[in-house]
Each structure stands twice: as C-alpha cells, then as structure tokens.
Amino acid sequence: MKVAVLGGNGQLGTDVVLAFRGAGGHDVLPMTHAQVEVTDPESVRAALAQGRADVVVNCAAFHRVDDCEKRPDEAFRVNALGALHVARACAEINALCVYISTDYVFDGQKGMPYTEEDCPRPVNTYGASKLAGEHLVAQSCPRWIIARVASLFGRAGPRGKPSNFVEAILSKGTAGEPVRVVDDMRMSPTYTHDAARALAHLIRQGATGVFHLTNAGACSWFEYAEEILALAHLEATVEPVRSSDHFSAARRPRNSSLRGLKVDGPAKQSLRPWEEALKAYLDDRNATARREP
C-alpha cells in the first residue's frame, strides 16, 4: 500500500509514518508543509497526483485553540477548506482520505465519555472548523476515515505549540516552578505512538467511517499532571485551579473524554490505558536521554 502523510513531520504525523514503516510492506511518503500547502488546491492536487497514494492521512492542522478563536479565517482555511482540497484530490486518485479530527467537536455537557454515536456540537472556533472539515471530507470523497484524537503527547512534539503538556509539566517540575493545573476539565490523554498504530490497523483492515482513537480512560488535567510527576519521580506538588480563574480566548468543553465503540481487534489493543501509555512515553524519553546524553 502506498501511504501519503500530510503534516508528516508533525507530532502525530511522525508516528503515523513510523507505524506504517514498522508494519512493513508499505511505501510511505511523508509530506511536510514545505512540500504541500493544504489551503492551496493546486498544491494539494499536484502533490497527491504525483504520488498516486492509495491512502492519504491528513494530519495538517491549525490547532492552537485560542489563536483559532482570534483568527477564524485561518482556522477555517486550514482545518475545513484544507480538508476539502485534500478530500477532492483523494477522490480524483481514488485514494482513501483519512482526516484527523478532535475531541473538541463536542460541547462537554455529557457526563461520560463521548462515543462515535454522539452528536458533535463544538463550543469554540477550532472545534467548529474541525467539524466543518469532517463534513467536507464525508461529502467530497467516496472512501474516508475520520479519526478523532485528543490531548496528544508524542516524541516528536507538536510543531504548532511550544511543547506538549507532558514536557511542559516535566520542565516546571524539574525547575521547581509552581505547577498549577485546572481540575475541572476531563479528557483522554493519548500517546501518538498508540493512536498511529491503531489508525494503521484500521486502514489495513479496510475500515471506513468515524472512529475515536484515544488511549483508554480519562482524567482531569490536574490528575494527569500528578501522574506525570509521580512517574517521573519529581517531588513537585500540583495546585488545582478552576478553569474560570484563567482568561482564555476560546471556551473549552468541560468533558471531552472519548471512547471508541467501533474500534476492536488489534486497533483496540494498541489503545492501552493512558497511564500505561504515559509510562511508555517516559521510558522511551529516558532511553533516548541515556543514548544521547
């Protein structure tokens, strides 16, 4: 199978490339922003027509939530119209179009994890632009997967933000800085290594449709920070704060935890409990530090 990965050097894209390469037997083409501009239909069409991939995984996004609120044009240009251009180009070459979406398509009012059967209702511009992207993909390409992921941590680190949450907490804990984290928002922390492997399994199984690909379980950001510091054997204490004590441009859902009802077999096995995934991430990080002091 020939697999093109847009945003192929991003946090998730890097692990999608590795997941397919690790499985063997696939021709994997990572495509960076420098090579393809998703907001430009000609750039997308030319790149994808040249590669003639069987599968296109679109990890490209503008996902800084507060910046999306301030720059809605850009959010919709990248996350919605960009998704449309990719989906149309996939239709032209008869490729499966895989769009990476988010837990932020939900409003947070549900008292338990959201499944693929729940109705999205975003509360911020980022979520609205991603939901628009989902709709445009589903209406423009005959074969598609919408894979919703959440609160990602991965070894490559996010390109669109200074660091992922795990690294931010580790750096504060190591520096002895106060660690204050909201305790009234719940989500499902997800290791990009695991989400990428689950996605690769789904694609190889020939799956299509909407899937929730998060590590199993959920926690508040406060509980997540405490677990990070405990696993890293850092002494710092975490102070819980309310989300209402912080001004932010974008509203955020109180509960955006996800559960994948439709994910089974090896894809489900890849999505271990988030605590185990976090430990694996930290072990990998320590092993790299030992190799590259």
Ligand X SMILES: NC(=O)c1ccc[n+]([C@@H]2O[C@H](COP(=O)([O-])OP(=O)(O)OC[C@H]3O[C@@H](n4cnc5c(N)ncnc54)[C@H](OP(=O)(O)O)[C@@H]3O)[C@@H](O)[C@H]2O)c1
Structure tokens at 34: 């420098």
Our finding on whether 60 is near ligand X (CB under 6 A) is yes
Q: Which stretch binds ligand X (CB under 6 A): 59-67, 109-117, 198-206, 257-265?
A: 59-67
Burial of 92 (0-12, 13-18, 19+ CB in 10 A): exposed
> Which residue lies nearer to ligand X by CB, 246 or 291?
246
Single out the residue of 21, 22, 23, 39 in contact with ligand X (rule: CB under 6 A).
Answer: 39
Task: Check 99, 126, 224, 281 and give the catalytic one.
Answer: 126
Alpha-carbon separation of residue 127 from 71, 124, 182, 249 (angstroms): 13, 5, 20, 14
DSSP structural state of residue 80:
I
Single out the residue of 158, 173, 189, 253 in contact with ligand X (rule: CB under 6 A).
Answer: 158
Single out the residue of 3, 4, 5, 10 in contact with ligand X (rule: CB under 6 A).
Answer: 10
Q: Can you tell me whether residue 4 is helix, strand or coil?
A: strand
The Cα 47–Cα 160 span in angstroms is 22
> Which residue lies nearer to ligand X by CB, 24 or 162?
162
Our finding on whether 11 is near ligand X (CB under 6 A) is yes
The Cα 156–Cα 256 span in angstroms is 24
Cβ atoms of 228 and 172 closer than 8 Å? no
The Cα 290–Cα 68 span in angstroms is 38
| Closest CB 37 distance from ligand X, rounded Å | 5
CB atoms within 10 A of CB 1: 15
Respond yes or no: is residue 126 known to be catalytic: yes
Our finding on whether 220 is near ligand X (CB under 6 A) is no
Our finding on whether 145 is near ligand X (CB under 6 A) is no
195, HSE (Cβ side, Cα atoms, 13 Å) = 36
Our finding on whether 189 is near ligand X (CB under 6 A) is no
> Which residue lies nearer to ligand X by CB, 123 or 149?
149
209, HSE (Cβ side, Cα atoms, 13 Å) = 12
Our finding on whether 9 is near ligand X (CB under 6 A) is yes
* Amino acid present at 192: T
Q: Which residue is nearest to ligand X (CB)?
A: 10
Single out the residue of 3, 4, 48, 63 in contact with ligand X (rule: CB under 6 A).
Answer: 63
> Which residue lies nearer to ligand X by CB, 38 or 198?
38
Sign, CA torsion 100/281/113/75: negative
Cβ atoms of 139 and 197 closer than 8 Å? no
Our finding on whether 80 is near ligand X (CB under 6 A) is no
> Which residue lies nearer to ligand X by CB, 161 or 268?
161
Structure tokens at 265: 């077999």
Our finding on whether 83 is near ligand X (CB under 6 A) is no
> Which residue lies nearer to ligand X by CB, 5 or 232?
5
Our finding on whether 149 is near ligand X (CB under 6 A) is yes
Catalytic residue positions?
Answer: 126
Residues that bind ligand X (CB under 6 A): 6-7, 9-13, 32-33, 36-39, 59-63, 78, 82, 100, 102, 149-152, 158-160
